[in-house]
Copies of this chain bind each other. A is one copy, B any other.
Amino acid sequence: MSKPAPTPEPPYYAVIFTSTRTGIDEGYGAMSEKMVEMASQQPGFLGVESARGEDGLGITVSYWESEEAIAHWRRNAEHRIAQSQGKEKWYSEFVTRVAKVERARTFGKS
């Protein structure tokens, strides 16, 4: 089971990507996996959480050390191609929000 991403003490940054899909699957799963793998190798990457519910709404939150780390990943050439294909084919709607995490609390049953 996926778990909440372990992250350091705030402050750090979150990119909240909320989307609905088109009916087109062509290459989506492979690209999605590749982008998570590539993102996780970028400088300043802290973690990622992702869920898509039965009603079709998907939420992916990635965590980053700094705005510079986010900007660096945004400029990545393969990521740009994926974003372009996302708009053309895979997503009917999305919102990307960049936010500064100011505080966090964790709960876990031992």
Residues of chain A at the chain B interface (Cβ within 8 Å):
1-5, 7, 10, 14, 16, 18-20, 22, 49-53, 55-59, 61, 87, 91-109
Within 8 Å by CB of A93, from B4, B10, B59, B101, lies B4
A96/B100 in contact, CB under 8 A: no
- For A55, what are the chain B residues with a Cβ–Cβ distance below 8 Å? 1-2, 51
8 smallest A-B Cβ distances: which pairs?
A: A99-B99, A51-B53, A2-B57, A4-B18, A4-B95, A51-B51, A1-B56, A99-B101
User: What CA separation (Å) do A53 and B50 show in the bound complex?
Assistant: 8
Q: Is the interface of A mostly helix, strand, loop or mixed?
A: strand
Within 8 Å by CB of A52, from B4, B14, B53, B106, lies B53
A31 smallest CB distance to B (angstroms): 16
B104/A14 in contact, CB under 8 A: no
> A55-B1, A59-B51 in contact; A95/B106 too (CB < 8 A)?
yes
